[in-house]
Structure 1
Amino acid sequence: MPEGDSIHHAARRIGRVVLGGPLDRVVTPSPRTAPRGWDRRLAGREVVALDPRGKHLLIRFDDGLVLHSHLRMTGSWRVRPAPGGTGPDLAVTARPGAPARRGAGRGGRPYSARTWLVLGRGEQDVLQIGGPFLELRTSAQVAGDPRLAALGPDLCAEAFDADRAVARLRQDDPTRPVGDALLDQRSVAGIGNVWKSEGCFAAAIDPWRPLGRTTDDELHAILAAVRPGIRRCAVEGTHLRPKHVYGKQGRPCPRCGTTIRSAAMGDDNRTTSWCPGCQR
């Protein structure tokens, strides 16, 4: 699943294509979206804002309609040349640290049936591929969406209220491991497996420690460790994420030399990496 920095970075990449004037192309190649008539409803419309919220992305149009996307584990946003275009083929994917892919060449590539939606301006297209959740909604429907209303403070946003995030964490089950609690988007939005593991490592806190035995200062330390990096990745790309422990199981800890471990955590069995030597 993409983390908050993936979605914020995707919004920046997408915005370079779709902002600044009416759309030239709206295509729904997938049999899942073709019957919905989005191509007719969005034809000639103008994107006026891209609004990333945690792991959600809202694309707002000039008539009040909003595309609401959540990539979950399988979706991706891509920017590539339109048919007949000559620009580079750039990928914005759900895979942490995935590099941009090039080589579409003149004329681009045909749209696949896994492409839910194409928004095009000039010589470039924005494609939503394989996304399990993509809905065209009204502004009122989005404003009343309980999933969005329940989101905690967004670590990638310009304004972030750490005290509010800690207060929300305190409302969680005190026996829940702190690493698992950090993934709850109702407490703090944007953290996924990578930033959970790396934040706990940076603050030298065992992600398996129960939330009730983790002090407010320690929770603040985790959030403070994550925020500068996740904000930078939101702008410059997820290839800049730290890689001290995540995915390094079996290797020596760069801080103390103890062998790094990795295990599934929580009801969703989300991968967690940590050093049992220096994270207490």
Structure 2
Amino acid sequence: MVLAMPEGDTVFRAARRLEAALAGRALSVSDFRVPAHATLSLVDWMVESVVSRGKHLLIRARPPARVSAPPLSIHSHLLMEGRWDVYATGERWRSPAFKARAVLGNPAFTAVGFELGFLQVLRTTDEVEVIGHLGPDPLGHSWDPAEAVRRLQSAPERPIGLALLDQRVIAGLGNVYRSELLFISRIHPRTPVGEIEDVGRVVDLAHRLLNANKDRARRVTTGADGINPYWVYGRAGKDCLRCGEALQIESLADSVRAAERDVYFCGSCQGSYIPTAGGVR
């Protein structure tokens, strides 16, 4: 089984759960289990809101009247295995305590961040320093499809399979949505952005897929809650649900981000990209 990294819809749901449990309540438990913030206590601080921005999550809190301090934001990123759980206060945790990186609670609920890939506390006014680089968020109130298209087309020679993973272009897309978007659009992952006739259609599909899944406990892109929730992701070597051919997996090297990422696709439905022959065949 291939594990999928948390993507924008996962973080959106986590933020909504945390908002319901913590927002509008003062913290009675504040325990940061990372060296940089081990001595920090936000007990009696009021949680004002919890928001997601792409794959980033922000818990915003303001100090009690007696404390002279600016509002703070708890900034976390789940990376591959991180998650935030919410428990009724006193309920047994589903993971061992040594995996907890942050514990925040009030008399009714306890929120525990397990195996968080990144955790920091900063002034709320400084949030732009950690999320200001992000592109438009399909699940954000300020979603701007035209800006997403502009950012994609700003590097026309870049393969679409790499551009879609760049959080500076569109925030919240990961390996699952990248693979699924390109399969549904019948675009080979190596196709340069500049050779795609309708980039706007890909952007619109990203918006529709993430919004369709933001309320689901189980992500589905095939349109059915059956045995195969995904068209291609994690299904290398298995039959394509559309044409029956064996699905493929390739590693795309990203010179911009200095990384390699695997992408799943169907060579029959999406063609094969041959640069010297002028494109997709």
- CA-based RMSD of the aligned residues comes to 2.1
- In the alignment, residue 85 of structure 2 is paired with which amino acid? R
1:133 aligned residue:
118
- How far apart in 2 are the matches of 1:110 and 1:244? 31
Which residue is 1:180 aligned to?
162
> Could you tell me which residue of structure 2 aligns to residue 277 of structure 1?
268
| Preserved CA contact (<8 Å) 2:37 2:120 | no
Share of identical aligned residues, percent?
33
Q: Distance in 2 between matches of 1:23 and 1:109?
A: 22
Distance 2:219 2:196 in 1: 30
Match runs of 1:102-121 below 5 Å: 104=92, 108=93, 112-121=97-106
Letter in 1 for 2:109: Q
- Mapped to 2, the partners of 1:8 and 1:200 lie a distance apart of 23
Residues 31 and 38, structure 2, Cα contact 8 Å, conserved in 1: no
1:60 to 2:43 alignment? no
Deviation, 1:165, is: 0.5
**Correspondence for 1:92:** none
Aligned to 2:87, the other structure's residue is in SS state: strand
State how 1:55-94 maps to structure 2 within 5 Å.
55-63=55-63, 64-83=71-90, 85=91
User: Using the alignment, how far apart are the partners of 2:184 and 2:94 within structure 1?
Assistant: 43
Change in 2 beyond 3 A, CA 1:110/1:210: closer
Partner of 2:68: none
Moved more, 204-213 or 51-60: 204-213
Deviations 1:88-118 (A, max 9, x none): xxxxxxxxxxxxxxxx4xxx57962321111
* Cα distance in structure 1, aligned partners of 2:150 and 2:244: 35
Cα distance in 2 between the residues matched to 1:168 and 1:35:
36
Gaps spanning 5+ residues in structure 2: where?
Answer: 64-70, 223-229, 272-281
Superposition map of 1:152-231 within 5 A: 152-172=135-155, 174-215=156-197, 217=198, 219-231=199-211
One-letter code of the match for 1:237? A
Question: Aligned partners of 2:98 and 2:221: how far apart in 1?
Answer: 32
Question: d(CA) in 2 for partners of 1:35 and 1:181?
Answer: 35
- The 3 A distance-change label for structure 1 pair 260 and 109 is closer
* Other-structure match for 1:90: none
Tell me the TM-score normalized by structure 2: 0.81
Which letter maps to 1:54? G
Q: Is the 8 A contact 2:48 2:61 kept in 1?
A: yes
**SS of match in other structure, 2:86:** strand
